[in-house]
Structure 1
Amino acid sequence: MNRLLPLLFLVGVLASPVMADLGDGLPEAGAVDSTHAYASSDMMVARLPQMLWNALVYPVGRFTIYAELTELPRRVEEVFTNDAGTFGIFPQVQLGGETNTGGGLSLFHSDLFGAGKELNAIYIYSAADRQRAELLYRDGNLRGGPWFLELHGNYLDTDSEDATINGIVEGRRDLFPDEPSLFALQQLDVTGRLGWRSNTGQLEDYSPQLSMTLQGGWSTRDLSTDIVGIPDLQGETSTSTASAIPGLGQDLSYGWLGLRLAWDDRDAKPVTSHLSHPLIYQFPGRVLLEHEGLYHSYRDIAYPEGGGLAEVSVDLARGADDVSFARLGAEVQRFHTLFWSNRVLAGRIRVDKVFPLDDGFAPYADLPTLGGGQRLKGYQRGTYRGEGALLMALEYRWPIWDTWSASLFWEEGQVFDEFGDIDPDLFGSTIGAQMILRTETAFLLGLRVAHSADETALLGFMLEQEF
């Protein structure tokens, strides 16, 4: 690509009218002047879409090239990390999100105790009653084997109108035309995970993975509101169970235990003993590993061109004040390369369901939701809520440059209390486009615009990728 662009530019210059005039210095006798055809108003109208696209993409492309040439990411990282690059503290800015706009710090350590243990932490302050904090400790090779251990803590205190807990306000402006927010939530989750995966060591990120995770933890939920006489919320975006707002005004706590199974062969490519180019050659967007005489391709989860993901999880939760429920989640993703190289058709189906046990209930904050940057993107986060949620998504993806790509997406989703409640006429539909910025090995940032019945053009960005 880098060698082809100068060649195309040279051909374009040599074929231009300016260079053609240099051949004999004078136009032919009797030649008709047709330059007016290039200056018509129709040409300007025809060029307008391309001009708008160039105005959007050109600055991003120029900055990307500048960053690569000057090694800007590495230079910025060195300011906030130690010499070994194993420890760093970064300033953090949040735009929107669960606590709305705020700032704070993030911390990482990739070689804790000098034994390869990982520690990540983040704290965001938006206001006295809008804060969040997250802490993750990970031992990726427990005792040098295929087992891993994770300890995760998450704290959230918010009454923001942008919070998932207040998504119903965005979905029912007819009921709350003057309310910026409806609920306030304080929650704490402490989770432990003990997992096993089929491939470790050098080939962990290059080979398909079968994984099994035993997980459990302790959670608290304190949901409150200042609104008196909350009207009936039931409708297309809120089921009868969600409309009853289970747990409102109660300080709840419960323990839970669960199991997750997953098969992941996204972007897995056949192992080969021969290459068309020497290993030193840099394949655009590809990372290769030589192991025992065979060459393995890195699985680019940010832009998989084949394979898929299948996972299922089951959790059981019990606590005081009649909190008692089971939680089921199942998802299938598939990716298929089309007849154009690197063009990908991606599909996704996900089902989440909560089952109350022994006349108990699941807190409102634990009911499945749709809406936001990952699930039903054309709606505000948490717009849909019920005991169950069904999501179907289809995307057409194509690469723009080595480190960024674009996609067109179509999603359909619905919430329900019982599987028999699913109605083809009640699906929420959204279409849109997004641009993804990534490295050769990881997702960085996504920018999107989406359309739905609620939003003409909902703009947003994402810092993580589920699909």
Structure 2
Amino acid sequence: GRLPATPASVIGNNSSMTALAIEPSLRYDSRDNPFRATRGWFVEGAFTYTDQVDRDQFRYLGYRVEVQRYIPVFQGNRVLLLRAYLAKQDTVGGGAIPFYELNLLDLNNGLRGFDRGRWQDKGALLFNVEWRFPVWQDVEGDIFLDEGQVFGDYKDLQLKLFRYSAGAGLRFVTNRKFGFRFQVAVSEDGVLTLLRGNLEFLQQRAAKLGFGF
């Protein structure tokens, strides 16, 4: 569940490790464009094995599966994005998982209405629904709903433990490059503003408008 602080009793706090990590993955991508998709599927699965080589404290495996579906609406001018994500970790041979490697759900990991590190555990389950629509040239608007929960074991999953966030924003993007994203998300914790940008894209757009930075 939530880890609001990292006291010395938390496994992996105030320490680092040298580890061997193996992560094979498989990917299927039928999107018509990776930056501004209007149709298609994106599916990715990965398996990880991590073994601490300088000590025997940490040894664990994990896997994750992500599915995205882009559905064109109104002749492709508007897009419905459906996303599902599952990640799980388990210890191996009496080893442990350092807290900083646990799965996260927060503003940077799909649950956009919650601050960094808000939800953290061995498992994470997430669903996103996003409606994208044109605003002007390379600008898209979006309205989204996120729901997810973290868990230790699958038996811990409960409907009442899902956390929700919703919001809206703008995406500045072309068919060849992601530019800038501004979103406002609301959850039980309050309101968060999310900003993410590509500096090169912003510089090019500013130059076209007669500005420089």
TM class, shorter-length: 0.7 to 0.9
Q: What secondary structure, in the 3-state scheme, does the structure 2 residue paired with 1:345 have?
A: strand
One of 125, 142, 166 as aligned partner of 1:431: 166
Instruction: Name the residue aligned to 1:314.
Output: 47
Instruction: Name the residue aligned to 1:353.
Output: 88
For residues 429-451 of structure 1, give each alpha carbon's deviation from its aligned partner in whole angstroms, at most 9, with x where no partner exists. 00100100113311111000010
One of 36, 50, 74 as aligned partner of 1:303: 36
For residues 287-321 of structure 1, give each alpha carbon's deviation from its aligned partner in whole angstroms, at most 9, with x where no partner exists. xxxxxxxxxxxx2x222110010110001111123
Distance 1:451 1:250 in 2: 35
Instruction: Name the residue aligned to 2:192.
Output: 458
For residues 37-74 of structure 1, give each alpha carbon's deviation from its aligned partner in whole angstroms, at most 9, with x where no partner exists. xxxxxxxxxxxxxxxxxxxxxxxxxxxxxxxxxxxxxx
Does residue 394 (structure 1) correspond to residue 129 (structure 2)? The answer is yes
Identity %: 27
> Structure 1 residues 374 and 403, CA, compared in 2 at 3 Å: closer, same or farther?
farther
**1:408: Cα distance to partner?**
0.3
Structure 2 counterparts to residues 116-131 of structure 1, below 5 A: none
One of 2, 7, 23 as aligned partner of 1:258: 23
Structure 2 counterparts to residues 27-66 of structure 1, below 5 A: none
- TM-score, structure 2 as length reference: 0.86
Instruction: Name the residue aligned to 1:65.
Output: none
Distance 2:75 2:109 in 1: 27
Structure 2 counterparts to residues 231-310 of structure 1, below 5 A: 245-267=10-32, 299=33, 301-310=34-43
Distance 1:252 1:447 in 2: 36
Q: What secondary structure, in the 3-state scheme, does the structure 2 residue paired with 1:305 have?
A: coil
Structure 2 counterparts to residues 137-216 of structure 1, below 5 A: 168-169=3-4, 182-183=5-6
Instruction: Name the residue aligned to 2:113.
Output: 378
Contact 1:373 1:461 in 2 (8 A): no
Does residue 413 (structure 1) correspond to residue 178 (structure 2)? The answer is no
Distance 1:313 1:341 in 2: 31
Contact 1:252 1:321 in 2 (8 A): no
Contact 1:334 1:346 in 2 (8 A): yes
Does residue 335 (structure 1) correspond to residue 100 (structure 2)? The answer is no
Instruction: Name the residue aligned to 1:215.
Output: none
**1:251: Cα distance to partner?**
3.5
Equivalent pairs counted in the alignment come to: 195
Amino acid in structure 2 at the alignment position of 1:261: L
Q: Larger relative CO (CA 8 A, sep 6+): 1 or 2?
A: 2
Contact 2:36 2:174 in 1 (8 A): no
**1:383: Cα distance to partner?**
0.4
**1:340: Cα distance to partner?**
5.1
Distance 1:350 1:440 in 2: 25
Distance 2:168 2:75 in 1: 19
Distance 1:253 1:461 in 2: 33
Instruction: Name the residue aligned to 2:103.
Output: 368
Amino acid in structure 1 at the alignment position of 2:41: G
Contact 1:348 1:392 in 2 (8 A): yes
Distance 1:258 1:378 in 2: 30
For residues 298-351 of structure 1, give each alpha carbon's deviation from its aligned partner in whole angstroms, at most 9, with x where no partner exists. x2x222110010110001111123210001111000000113541111100001
Distance 2:16 2:105 in 1: 25
- TM-score, structure 1 as length reference: 0.40
**1:366: Cα distance to partner?**
0.3
Q: What secondary structure, in the 3-state scheme, does the structure 1 residue paired with 2:18 have?
A: strand
Structure 2 counterparts to residues 1-12 of structure 1, below 5 A: none
**1:373: Cα distance to partner?**
3.6
Amino acid in structure 1 at the alignment position of 2:37: P
Q: What secondary structure, in the 3-state scheme, does the structure 1 residue paired with 2:94 have?
A: coil
Distance 2:49 2:174 in 1: 38
Does residue 442 (structure 1) correspond to residue 177 (structure 2)? The answer is yes
Distance 1:314 1:261 in 2: 9
For structure 1, list consecutive stretches of 5 or more residues without a partner in the other structure. 1-166, 170-181, 184-224, 231-243, 268-298
Distance 2:46 2:76 in 1: 35
For residues 231-275 of structure 1, give each alpha carbon's deviation from its aligned partner in whole angstroms, at most 9, with x where no partner exists. xxxxxxxxxxxxx622223342211112011001112xxxxxxxx
